[in-house]
Copies of this chain bind each other. A is one copy, B any other.
């Protein structure tokens, strides 16, 4: 029995990992603090929000779509959840409401894309304005402060020394990995992204599959929002600015094809850590903002070139 699909996965992900090791190696040499345990935990913690968003983005991208609206969806979930908590609702209710808002936004994106027959890029571009506007209107533009300590404790605690957000995102990543690789939904996502027409004729529930992808993306945006909510202790309607670009970059660095049909959870996670490590290392080296921007641009492209060079060996 050949193991080729597995080898395939491993080789792609190995390329991404190689990129991470290279970047990590350079920083380790340049600044001694980089490789210390607290700093590595720090990088993981800082990458956790992007990772949360990027998990959903990866599923959406695999299904052949894209979700530009994640940031504003996060903001809308955050302000609704926070308003409920501040208004005295039990934490569980507020959390569920935030998740509900995220999934509702995802549902709306998904419905416009599937039943409306619109292009995902343009639907979620519209959503980018729409959901942000709703968050601003809901709050009148001012942040909501005064979240209960019980809620904040959830995100600021640690489990065996690992910050809770990292634990939560690790669990979600495991779930996403299982969904993608071990469930019918995962197969459907790859089939729909790989060849929607063939999938439809084969009886794949194309509409439901896409709806699921966007709803998962919305829900994960809400989770990211809740994590950040706990960390900040405040819900801002401007939360989530530019999150979509970071998440897409992470997924792409991790080997997802924006044409759909291909992507890897492990690759995406490594992609997130690459971006986080980059930011961390550049700050530690006290690189000026303009040069940080320069380095970000270069590293994204170089990471892709490394990935590409590794993938090339598979004969793609």
Residues of chain A at the chain B interface (Cβ within 8 Å):
112, 116-119, 121-123, 125-134, 136-137, 141, 245, 248-249, 252-253, 257-259, 289-291, 293-294, 296-298, 300-301, 304-305, 308, 312
Q: Is the CB of A119 within 8 A of B304?
A: yes
Find A293's partner among B133, B253, B289, B312 (CB 8 Å cutoff).
B133
Greatest chain B CB density within 10 A among A130, A141, A312 is at: A130
Q: Is the CB of B126 within 8 A of A258?
A: no
List the B side residues contacting A252 at CB < 8 Å.
119, 121-122, 125
Copies of this polypeptide in the complex: 2
Q: Is the CB of B290 within 8 A of A125?
A: no
Interface SS, A side: helix
Q: Is the CB of B305 within 8 A of A116?
A: yes
Q: List 25 A-B contacts (CB under 8 A).
A: A112-B305, A117-B308, A118-B304, A118-B305, A118-B308, A121-B252, A121-B258, A122-B248, A122-B252, A122-B258, A125-B252, A126-B296, A126-B298, A126-B301, A126-B304, A127-B297, A127-B301, A129-B293, A132-B293, A133-B291, A133-B294, A134-B294, A136-B289, A136-B293, A141-B290
CB distance from A240 to the nearest CB of B (A): 14
Q: Is the CB of A123 within 8 A of B290?
A: no
List the B side residues contacting A141 at CB < 8 Å.
290
Query: A297 and B130 in contact (CB under 8 A), knowing A125-B248, A290-B137?
Result: yes
